[in-house]
Each structure stands twice: as C-alpha cells, then as structure tokens.
C-alpha cells in the first residue's frame, strides 16, 4: 500500500500581495491540480515498470524469442540413487562406458558354487552373476565380423592363468626382430631360426574345442577379437577366481 500525503499549504506573504494577484483560494486550486497531475504521471510510470518486471509462474511465450542466439538444451539428471546399479545403467555413457559396476557385498559372497557368466554381444558387456543377480557388470570385446563369437550356452572346460595363443601372435626372425605382428600360425611362415610367439591370453577360460574362450586383452568399445571374449586386466582375475571348470557361460546377442 502506498500512502500519499498532499501538502496543500501555501505560504503566501501578505507583503507580496497586489491587486493583480489571484486570490489565495485560486492559488491553492492550481497547486493541487499540478500536484495531482504529477502524481498521475508517477503512478502510470510505476505501473508500466511493474508490467515489465513481472514474471508469473504460468507465463509462457507464444512466439520464439527473436533475440535468442540458440536453443537451450535440457540437462539430463539421472533419477536413480547414486551408487545403485540402476544409476549405473541409466548413465548416458552406458553401455559404451569402460567403467565397471560392482555390488561389493554380493560380489564378496560370489564363488564358484553360485556363479554364472553372461556375455551380451549387442551391449559388449559381461555380467558375473550370483544366483541370477548381477554382482559385476564389465566391458568386453567379442569377435569382429570376420571372426564372430558364437552365441549359445557353454561351460568352462579349461582354466590356465598364464597362457599364450597357439593361433595368433607375432613372428620373429633369428635375431628376435619382428617379421610380422598379428600373424596366423596356420597361414604365415616362420623364417629359419625364427619363432612364432603367441599373443598373451592370461586368465584363460576355454569355452569351445576350437579355441574360443575368455581371457585378458585389449578391450575397445566394439567387437575386435578373433572370436574370444576379451576382458579388462582389472576385471578378469575376479572372473577367473569366482568361476571353475564347469561354470555356465551364456553368450547372447
């Protein structure tokens, strides 16, 4: 509420009075009218100012802002509790992320008697399961199109901590120099005095008789192997320790 007080008192000196001066009542009337006019202008200005600064909560523009430089992008907010598996999967970087999710409590209770491994080729993710619940979600790299990883149900048939491939690796000459990297022992000839050095495949877990298995390897976020399931070095020892010969492994797409 605005309180306005009009001071209508006119201090007119009798000494300045002349016969030509308007009467005192007329001067008061002129003063009041002038004051009212100025107040009207002030109130009008205040009303306009309020209309410019008012932002009602339901206000919505009906036309695009002509001075806008570019459209603002909505900010994504993960709705799930931080640290939960739902939060991990709802991340904008999932499944391409190289991050690993671990349910530490469940993982501590996972062992070769209650574990199972699931490989999802469409996601390029591996899942270490404990009685049907995900204990660890980690990145993998399966076979590229020329060497596809087979889908199906398998069991681990062999486990070797330190293993090298007998199919893929590097051919060296007699001096130890590299003749060919990415060599195939079935196709590429080893020079006299040289050797074929198989690619390292530590924490090897065989799944098929023709050389498909899970092991440590480089894990880009796309299929890149010769058919095996490459697993990060930070993860594969855990998978190896929590499984045994006979553990079920499901590969799906």
For residue 68, the model assigns a pLDDT of: 73
Residue 98: which residues within 8 A CB-CB, separation 6 or more?
139, 219, 221, 232
What one-character DSSP code corresponds to residue 253? Answer: -
pLDDT at 16 over 80: no
Tell the CATH topology of 85-158+201-252. L,D-transpeptidase catalytic domain-like (2.40.440)
Kindly list the domain boundaries of the chain, sorted by start residue. Answer: 85-158+201-252, 164-200
d(CA 207, CA 213): 5
pTM (2 d.p.): 0.69
What is the 8-class DSSP label of residue 189? P
CB atoms within 10 A of CB 159: 17
pLDDT tens digit string along 128-146? Answer: 999 999 999 999 999 999 9
Task: Write down the mean pLDDT value for the chain.
Answer: 85
């Amino acid at each position: 509420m605005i309180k306005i007080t009009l001071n209508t008192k006119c201090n007119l000196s009798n000494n300045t009075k002349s016969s030509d001066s308007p009467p005192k009542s007329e001067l008061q009337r002129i003063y009041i009218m002038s004051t009212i006019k100025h107040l009207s202008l002030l109130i009008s200005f205040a009303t306009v100012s309020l209309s410019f600064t008012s932002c009602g909560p339901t206000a919505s523009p009906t036309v695009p802002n002509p001075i806008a430089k570019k459209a603002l992008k909505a900010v994504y907010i993960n709705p799930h509790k931080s640290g939960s598996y739902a939060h991990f999967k709802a991340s904008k970087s999932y499944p391409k992320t190289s991050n690993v999710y671990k349910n530490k409590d469940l993982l501590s209770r996972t062992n070769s008697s209650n574990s199972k491994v699931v490989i999802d080729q469409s996601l390029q993710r591996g899942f270490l399961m404990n009685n049907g619940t995900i204990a660890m979600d980690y990145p993998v790299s399966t076979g590229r199109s020329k060497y596809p990883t087979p889908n199906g149900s398998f069991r681990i048939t062999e486990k070797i901590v330190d293993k090298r491939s007998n199919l893929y690796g590097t051919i060296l000459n007699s001096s130890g120099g590299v003749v060919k990297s990415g060599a195939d022992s079935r196709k590429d000839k080893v020079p006299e005095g040289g050797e074929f050095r198989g690619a390292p495949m530590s924490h090897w877990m065989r799944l098929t008789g023709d050389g498909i298995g899970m092991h440590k390897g480089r894990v880009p976020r796309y299929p890149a192997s010769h058919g095996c399931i490459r697993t990060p070095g930070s993860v594969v020892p855990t998978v190896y320790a929590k499984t045994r010969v006979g553990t079920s492994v499901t590969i799906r797409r």
